[in-house]
Amino acid sequence: MAITIHKTIYHKTLMGNFVRYCYNWSKYHMVPKKLVLQKRFQKKHGRRLNLNNPISLNEKIVWLKLYNHTPLHTQCADKYAVRAYINERIGDQYLVPLYYHTLKPENIIPENLPTTPFIIKANHDSSGGIFVTDKNKTNWGEVQIELKNRLKKNYYWRSKESQYKAIEPRIIVEKLLQDKNGNIPFDYKLHCFNGKVRMIQVDMGRGTSQHYRNWYSTDWKREPYQWDMPNKDGGFTESTKEDIDKPVTLEKMIELSKILAKPFCYVRVDWYDVDGTLYFGELTFHHGGGNEPFTPKKWDEILGKELVLNNR
């Protein structure tokens, strides 16, 4: 009975909200970054983090969080500013059409938005987007409240990924990519080690209970591991039993990813293939935060040995 009362106070009262706020603020702002990452790694992997001589891929990703950051990382993590980098390196024909952008959530109103389907994102976080297929059936008050809450948050404090710290929060509205049947296209993520594509991750049904993730080599053969992500059911993503078809744009994805990855030690380059037309998604520098386990576990170390850390 006493436990139930305490939980009610903690979760459903102003005092409880204040206590939670103080706890979370001190947890993410007062504890040294290195200690946070060490504790998080040990909790996720069941072993201590080796930063003096990182060997596994997840260890090296955490090492990069701590010791590898440039202004270019910040530009490329910004979903708005990265567009200039893409235009400069490979051309703007690969950019998803941008309909609108603003610093103010109150500007996200039907009069400023297109009649065709679109997606609303924040440029400075990793929280996905708001899909809008009919703006006349959307509760814009709720959308503005969600966007205000997003803009207040600095993603750095939870992720400890330095590239997010200095991004100016902004709202962007882009075309919603759909294939000829109205479906959201597969998400192709090319993991690049030292400027070369090492493996390809394909996500299907993200954000749903039917989220699957397959891993392929650059010649489209199934990789012998899973790099697992927690799902909504408390388990991990699984692969599909049947292989999916190789995208017709695969060679172009690989070619362009090499160009975009050249300045970086490790980066994940995301793409969408919409009925044979290729669109850039985003650049990610610390896949899974270094906290997603491999199955079998040995592949964490096998792949880690292939990644050479710069400036060591």
The three-point CA angle 226-218-244 to 5° equals 65
Which positions ≥6 away from 44 have C-beta within 8 Å?
291, 292, 293
pLDDT of residue 209: 67
Q: Exposed, middle or buried: residue 78 (CB in 10 Å: 0-12, 13-18, 19+)?
A: buried
Element (H or E) spanning 204, and its range? strand 196-204
Is the pLDDT at 16 greater than 70, yes or no?
no
Is the pLDDT at 149 greater than 70, yes or no?
yes
Is the pLDDT at 20 greater than 80, yes or no?
no
pLDDT band at residue 221 under the 50/70/90 scheme: very high
Least confident of 196-210, 227-241, 254-268: 227-241
pLDDT tens digits for 164-181? 999 999 999 999 999 999
pLDDT of residue 58: 98
pLDDT band at residue 77 under the 50/70/90 scheme: very high
Region 133-147 average pLDDT: 96
Residue 270: phi and psi, rounded to 5, are: -100, 140
pLDDT of residue 237: 79
Copy the structure tokens of residue 144: 């503005």
pTM score of the predicted model: 0.89
Helices marked H in 90-167: 140-152, 156-159
